Structure 1
Amino acid sequence: MPGKSGSKRERQYEHIKDSAESRGASTGRAEELAARTVNKRRAQAGETKSSKSGGGSSPSGDRKSSGSGGPTRDELYAEARKRGIEGRSSMNKEQLAKALGR
């Protein structure tokens, strides 16, 4: 864990790491999972510098595509599903948008 982390985050890190190891993950993988999870939670709580620049999801969990402000692939997929567009499951975001006439 980074040096400036609080004791709460240290406990979270150790708990997640131990849990992953008990599920059979290697030590390296368990450490990676724990670090990623704790860093994500720190960012969501506004405890990092990068959290203010918009990296990551919003607290409500809804994610938008980067830059354009347009719909996500999942949103396009849901609309294609409603419209009954064939082959939608294998389409990427751009293909879904084209099939929907966007």
Structure 2
Amino acid sequence: MRRRSSPHTFEDGLAAGKARLEQRAAKLKPGREQEDHLSRMHRLDTAADMIGSIRQDCRRRGKAVIQEPQFDTYSVQARICLGVAIFGAALFLAGLLMSFFTQ
């Protein structure tokens, strides 16, 4: 049986992304590329602060506005998403084949 990973929050993903950027920025020489990494880190910090303040405000009001999506792989929502994705891919391939054969 496959081992499932523990669920990660959005904030965990932001923190992991920031840590990766910090490691890469430390290896770079001062210049344009390092500045790009630092600006991305700043945007991740801003996003984490915004999400934190929104969640704190929602907790204070007693509302759960932002929730982590909890899709079971066999849930109805997951099956609908998969069906829509397969249908979209089929339409894309049909259009691609039609444009290829009509020329």
* Rg larger for: 2
TM-score range, shorter chain: 0.3 to 0.5
The one of the two structures with greater contact order (alpha-carbon pairs below 8 A, sep at least 6) is 2
- Identify, as 1 or 2, the structure richer in helix: 2
